[in-house]
Structure formats: structure tokens, C-alpha cells
């Protein structure tokens, strides 16, 4: 089911959404057929999905159909409906596999593995796969033999989860910006991405390497992948070791989450060189945010946190994004002197003088008149863009020429577009989907007010996002949720305004005040740009990292 939805999102929305809407329109309102529910999922109509699943439960749908609908309920993040439907599935084919998926969804790893005992060949393969992942969470790690090695000073090898040009996320952009700045500062830089990337994300014709802005990206693309996660990490460590022996780095640098750290730790120990772990997010909390508060008591959450702490403890240096995240790392028992902050920053086109809104809109082919509010973001639930849409609905009557601009893509995009359509505002909202990274500055400059309406969750309280920093560099005021991580970026009343999270009416009121005061928007924009250029550039981050890299060998030798 997940694969089906992922594939549908890769197709043009101009084709997928009308087909999905047509399927739902011609189907009877009481239909609980699997294709009809999938069509509702594709177009983001969560209310219709839940209504039809409840109908199926009320009608006591049983057997194989109940099992399939239970899987759909799980994909729709309605585990309570999945439970009801699974209880009616009887002895349906694949019932144990579905039960394992349900347990895995809640983070009950051991129970998910156990429930597959005695299942057929398909279930046995699933059990082996899940057991391999559980092993990684419970202590398994790659092991490599010690190597004769002479590192070359001034060389750094980065291990990344994903990268440009195949992934245009904030993660990929931050990695690239750091490496460009390091290279400009005189370091020899090589990036290596995780095993089988980008083939595993659908880039079937990917080559063994890419060069972007002078940065070399090496791909680990073996002809055959090991069958389980623990075996793949061993395979990845062996492949990375080969690259390191050839490149001869003096330091290894990787990022969250902990599986990257396990691989780099093994290679660093084999070569007897220092390594750096960069904590860019609290991924256990990101996972829990999609499951509800009970997820923090789950087996997965506990194991995830334990392994993250282990990797941070073993690294020679821990890098993170802001003070809130540093406080959380210290609370996990990592010494504060071992942690440095390299905040999200700007470089390249964002250092150039921003254009006026009219010029930016003209170049992008957007209507030049009126006012624009919006964001450049990954479209996921914790970003709170549903609250932005509700605020836009409150503002629309007051500002007839106001438009909403949402730049980016993500799992919540279909539901967000459906929300706008249901409010009758589709003709005043622009969803661009993913855009080329060289156009991102123009989209920031096309806005009058940049909005960051994040939900109040553990992950959003700690993790500082990149895009509002880019908006400030573009001389645009930022309105955001009043959360600790965003307070590190938004100076309330200085370069933007803070509002309580999940408060669409207050958000609308705050945005309205800015829309009515052009001079205040301009002064906030100037203040924001000045502060970013003074404190948050990739060049400054590269200088900070270089200074700590230089001392790592001495510290590493003392520990030895």
C-alpha cells in the first residue's frame, strides 16, 4: 500500500488527482472497495477514507477484504480501525504478515517478529527482514579489521543518507552547502551516500558518481544487496572502507540517524582516525510525532534513543544545529564541551541582494499583483500547514487579492490541496511541488510574509529548520509558532513575529497586521537579513568545523 502511494506521488498530480477524484465520484457513497479507498488516499481525502473504513467495520466485512482494508487503515494512520478490521479477518491469507505490520507500526518490534513464527515462505522472509532490523536496534554493528593507513591532512570524507542532485531536501542542501564551503576553505572533500542510494529511491539509471558545484558524490551500488538490515550495514561499512583507503581522509563526518554513525564508527576504528557525528534532528521524536504520545513508551522509541546516545558518546565530536538541540544532547549524558553548534545558514544566491516581489514573481511566471503569504517546506504533518490554510481562509475575505504559495512536496500534500479545495480557495492557492534548487531564492523573494506554523511537538521544539533562515536572508519577515527552536531564529518584533502553535485565528490576526503595514514588513526584512549575514553563513560554519577538525587528531591520540 505504501509503495502504491509513493509511486502515485511520483506521477504528475495533474493526471493522478483528477483520476482519483473521478474514481471517488463514480463510486457509490457506501462503497468500501479497495480501489475506491486507494483513490481517496491518493487525493488526500482523509475524512472519506475514515468514513468508508468505518462503514466496512460496521458492516462486519471479513476475510481477505478485511485484511486488505486493515492495511489501508494503517497507511492512513488509523491504527484503531486497523485493529477492528484485523479482528474480522479470520484466517485470511497473509493475516500474520498484516499483524506484524500493525505491531511494527506501533514500535513493538519483538512482538512483530514473534507473531510471524510458523508462517509460510513469504512470512518467513518478512520475519528475517524484521529480525535483522531489530538486531540493529538492539546492538548489532559492523565489524572491520584494523588497516595499515596513512591519512592525508586536509581531507574529509562525508557519509550521507541522500544528496543532490537526486534528492532536493533540506538535508541534502545543508550537506552540499557545508561541503562547498569546506572546499572553498581549502579542504579536499568527498561525499559518499548510503548503500544502494539513489537506486532504492527509484533512480534506476543512476551512475556511480555525480559532480555538483565541484563536489564529488560517490555511490555505493553493489550488484547484489545483502538480504537484511544488519547484513547491509556490514556490507556498507566494507564498501565505505574501500573508498576511504583510496581517498585517505584525515577525518570522517556523518549525520543522523544512528545507522550512519555505526558504519562510520567501524571505518574510523579500522583506520584509527577521528570521526564526527552531526545531529540534525531527533528522528525518534520525528517517528513518534506520526504515532501519538503513546509512541514514546514503545520498544522502538527506547531502543532508537539508546543507539543515538551510544553513537554520540563514541564520536570524537558532535555537531548540532542549535541551543535547544544541544541541551537535549547534554541531557542524554554527552559532555557539553564535546558539542559544537553549526546552525542552519545561507550561502550562494542567498548572499546576493534580494529582488523585489514583483521581479521575483515575474521571473517565476506568477501573477505579479496582490499579496502573497506561504512557505518553502517539506509538506509533512508536523509543519502545521493545515493551520496556515485555515489562517488563509480567515484572511481571504479581508484581502481579496491575497494568494497562498506553498513550495515543496511531501506526504501531506494531497490532503492539504484537498483542504484548500474544500474551502473554495483553490483558485487563490498555488502549490508548486518540488522546484529546482536554483529557483528556491526566487520563491522566497516572491512572498510578502514567510510562515512557519509548526505543531508543538518534541521534534519541532528542538529542531531548527533551514528554510526560515533562507527567508530572512531574502529580507522577508517570518511569522512562526512560538517554540524554543524557532525562537533561536525569529526575534519576536524584530525580524518577525511569534504566535501560539495550532492557533489559526491568532496566526491570521498576526499575518493581517503585517500585510497592512508595508513599512514594518520592510524593516523586519532588513533586520533579518543583516542578522543572518552576520551570524549564519556556511562559510562561518566551515571555519568553525575546520578549527575543531584540526584539534581532533591530537584529542584522538590522547584518548588512544
- Could you report the per-residue pLDDT of 351-387, keeping only the tens digit for each? 999 999 999 999 999 999 999 999 999 999 999 999 9
Work out the angle between the directed axes of helices 63-75 and 34-42 (0-180°, nearest 10). 10
- Could you report the per-residue pLDDT of 33-65, keeping only the tens digit for each? 998 998 888 888 888 999 999 999 999 999 999
User: Does the pLDDT at position 13 exceed 70?
Assistant: no
User: What distance in Å separates the CA atoms of residue 392 and residue 397, rounded to the nearest whole number?
Assistant: 9
Instruction: Return the bridge partners of 451, or none.
Output: 479
Q: Which helix (H) or strand (E) holds 278?
A: strand 275-279
Number of Cβ within a 10 Å radius of residue 439: 16
- What is the per-residue pLDDT for 14? 65
Q: What percent of the chain clears pLDDT 70, i.e. is strictly above it?
A: 96
Locate all alpha helices (DSSP H) within 145-228, ordered by sequence: 170-184
Q: Which residue, 236, 255, 227, 169, is CA-closest to 197?
A: 236
Give Cβ neighbours of residue 5 (< 8 Å, ≥ 6 apart). 38, 41, 42, 75
Residue of higher predicted confidence among 170 and 188: 188
Compute the residue count for the chain.
560
Q: Which residue, 355, 323, 358, is CA-closest to 339?
A: 323
- The DSSP letter of residue 375 is E
User: What distance in Å separates the CA atoms of residue 407 and residue 364, rounded to the nearest whole number?
Assistant: 12
User: Does the pLDDT at position 559 exceed 60?
Assistant: no
- Could you report the per-residue pLDDT of 21-38, keeping only the tens digit for each? 778 778 899 999 998 998
Q: Which residue, 102, 113, 57, 52, is CA-closest to 77?
A: 102
For all residues of the chain together, what is the average pLDDT?
A: 94
Q: Which residue, 435, 107, 508, 454, is CA-closest to 303?
A: 107
Distance from the Cα of residue 512 to its chain's centroid: 30
User: What distance in Å separates the CA atoms of residue 318 and residue 338, rounded to the nearest whole number?
Assistant: 6
User: Does the pLDDT at position 18 exceed 80?
Assistant: no
CA distances from 199 to 10, 211, 281, 305, 411 (A): 15, 17, 25, 29, 20
User: Does the pLDDT at position 560 exceed 60?
Assistant: no
Strand order in the sheet with 429-433: 429-433, 402-407, 371-376, 449-452, 478-481, 496-499
Q: Which domains does the chain possess? A: 2-137 (1.25.40), 155-341 (3.40.50.2000), 352-536 (3.40.50.2000)
- What is the per-residue pLDDT for 557? 58
User: Does the pLDDT at position 437 exceed 80?
Assistant: yes
User: What distance in Å separates the CA atoms of residue 110 and residue 121, rounded to the nearest whole number?
Assistant: 20
Give Cβ neighbours of residue 269 (< 8 Å, ≥ 6 apart). 144, 146
- What is the per-residue pLDDT for 168? 84
What's the rounded mean pLDDT across residues 421-428? 96
What's the rounded mean pLDDT across residues 12-26? 72
Band the pLDDT of 83: cuts 50, 70, 90: very high
User: Does the pLDDT at position 17 exceed 90?
Assistant: no
- What is the per-residue pLDDT for 337? 95
- What is the per-residue pLDDT for 23? 80
User: What distance in Å separates the CA atoms of residue 502 and residue 486, rounded to the nearest whole number?
Assistant: 15
Band the pLDDT of 20: cuts 50, 70, 90: confident
Q: Which residue, 503, 506, 107, 46, is CA-closest to 289?
A: 107
Strand order in the sheet with 275-279: 209-212, 215-218, 188-193, 155-160, 251-255, 275-279, 317-320, 339-341
Signed CA dihedral, 296, 288, 320, 261: sign only = positive
Per-residue three-class SS string for 226-246: CCCHHHHHHHHHHHHHHHHHH
What's the rounded mean pLDDT across residues 83-87? 97
- What is the per-residue pLDDT for 12? 65
- What is the per-residue pLDDT for 556? 65
Q: Which helix (H) or strand (E) holds 255?
A: strand 251-255
The pTM (predicted TM-score) of the whole model is: 0.92
What's the rounded mean pLDDT across residues 515-521? 98
Instruction: Return the bridge partners of 384, or none.
Output: none
Band the pLDDT of 304: cuts 50, 70, 90: very high
- Could you report the per-residue pLDDT of 314-340, keeping only the tens digit for each? 999 999 999 999 999 999 999 999 999
Give Cβ neighbours of residue 484 (< 8 Å, ≥ 6 apart). 324, 461, 462
Work out the angle between the directed axes of helices 95-105 and 63-75 (0-180°, nearest 10). 20
- What is the per-residue pLDDT for 177? 96
- Could you report the per-residue pLDDT of 471-506, keeping only the tens digit for each? 999 999 999 999 999 999 999 999 999 999 999 999
Amino acid at each position: 500500500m505504501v509503495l502504491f502511494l509513493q509511486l502515485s506521488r511520483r506521477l504528475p498530480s495533474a493526471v493522478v488527482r483528477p483520476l482519483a477524484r473521478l474514481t471517488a465520484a463514480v463510486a457509490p457513497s457506501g462503497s468500501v472497495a479497495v480501489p475506491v479507498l486507494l483513490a481517496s488516499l491518493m487525493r488526500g481525502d482523509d475524512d472519506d477514507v475514515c468514513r468508508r473504513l468505518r462503514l466496512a467495520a460496521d458492516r462486519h466485512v471479513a476475510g481477505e477484504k478485511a485484511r486488505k482494508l486493515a492495511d489501508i487503515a494503517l497507511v492512513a494512520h488509523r491504527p484503531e480501525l486497523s485493529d477492528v478490521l484485523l479482528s474480522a479477518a479470520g484466517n485470511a491469507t497473509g493475516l500474520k504478515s498484516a499483524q506484524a505490520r500493525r505491531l511494527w507500526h506501533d514500535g513493538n518490534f519483538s512482538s512483530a517478529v514473534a507473531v510471524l513464527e510458523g508462517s509460510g515462505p513469504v512470512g518467513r522472509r518478512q520475519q528475517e527482514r524484521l529480525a535483522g532490523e531489530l538486531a540493529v536496534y538492539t546492538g548489532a554493528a559492523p565489524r572491520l579489521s584494523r588497516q595499515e593507513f596513512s591519512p592525508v591532512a586536509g581531507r574529509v570524507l562525508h557519509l550521507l543518507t541522500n544528496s543532490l542532485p537526486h534528492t532536493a531536501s533540506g538535508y541534502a542542501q545543508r550537506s552540499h552547502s557545508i561541503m562547498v564551503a569546506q572546499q572553498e576553505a581549502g579542504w579536499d572533500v568527498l561525499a559518499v551516500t548510503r548503500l544502494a542510494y539513489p537506486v532504492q529511491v527509484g533512480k534506476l539509471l543512476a551512475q556511480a558518481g555525480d559532480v555538483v558545484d565541484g563536489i564529488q558524490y560517490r555511490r555505493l551500488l553493489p550488484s547484489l544487496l545483502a538480504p537484511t538490515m544488519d547484513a547491509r550495514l556490514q556490507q556498507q561499512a566494507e564498501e565505505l572502507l574501500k573508498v576511504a583507503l583510496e581517498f585517505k581522509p584525515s577525518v570522517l563526518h556523518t549525520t543522523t540517524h544512528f545507522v550512519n554513525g555505526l558504519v562510520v564508527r567501524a571505518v574510523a576504528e579500522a583506520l584509527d582516525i577521528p570521526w564526527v557525528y552531526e545531529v540534525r534532528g531527533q528522528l525518534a521524536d520525528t517517528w513518534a510525532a506520526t504515532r501519538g504520545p503513546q509512541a514514546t513508551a514503545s520498544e522502538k522509541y527506547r531502543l532508537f534513543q539508546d543507539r543515538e546516545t551510544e553513537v554520540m558518546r563514541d564520536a570524537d565530536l558532535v555537531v548540532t544545529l542549535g541551543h535547544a538541540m544541544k541541551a537535549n544532547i547534554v541531557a542524554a549524558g554527552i559532555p557539553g564541551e564535546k558539542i559544537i553548534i553549526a546552525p542552519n545558514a545561507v550561502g550562494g544566491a542567498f548572499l546576493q541582494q534580494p529582488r523585489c516581489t514583483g521581479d521575483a514573481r515575474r521571473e517565476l511566471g506568477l501573477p505579479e499583483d496582490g499579496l502573497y503569504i506561504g512557505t518553502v517546506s517539506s509538506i509533512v504533518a508536523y509543519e502545521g500547514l493545515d493551520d496556515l490554510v485555515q489562517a488563509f481562509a480567515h484572511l481571504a475575505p479581508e484581502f481579496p487579492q491575497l494568494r497562498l504559495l506553498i513550495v515543496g512536496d511531501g506526504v501531506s500534500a494531497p490532503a492539504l490541496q484537498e483542504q484548500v479545495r474544500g474551502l473554495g480557495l483553490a483558485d487563490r492557492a498555488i502549490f508548486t511541488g518540488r522546484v529546482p534548487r536554483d529557483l528556491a531564492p526566487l520563491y522566497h523573494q516572491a512572498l510578502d510574509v514567510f510562515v512557519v506554523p509548526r505543531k508543538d511537538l518534541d521534534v519541532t521544539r528542538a529542531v531548527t529548520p533551514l528554510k526560515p533562515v533562507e527567508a530572512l536572508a531574502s529580507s522577508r519577515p517570518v511569522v512562526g509558532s512560538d517554540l524554543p527552536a524557532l525562537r533561536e531564529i525569529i526575534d519576536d518584533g524584530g525580524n518577525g513575529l511569534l504566535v501560539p502553535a495550532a492557533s489559526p485565528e491568532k496566526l491570521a490576526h498576526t499575518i493581517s497586521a503585517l500585510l497592512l503595514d508595508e513599512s514594518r514588513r520592510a524593516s523586519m526584512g532588513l533586520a533579518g537579513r543583516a542578522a543572518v549575514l552576520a551570524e549564519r553563513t556556511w562559510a562561518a560554519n566551515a571555519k568553525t568545523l575546520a578549527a575543531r577538525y584540526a584539534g581532533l587528531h591530537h584529542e584522538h591520540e590522547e584518548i588512544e
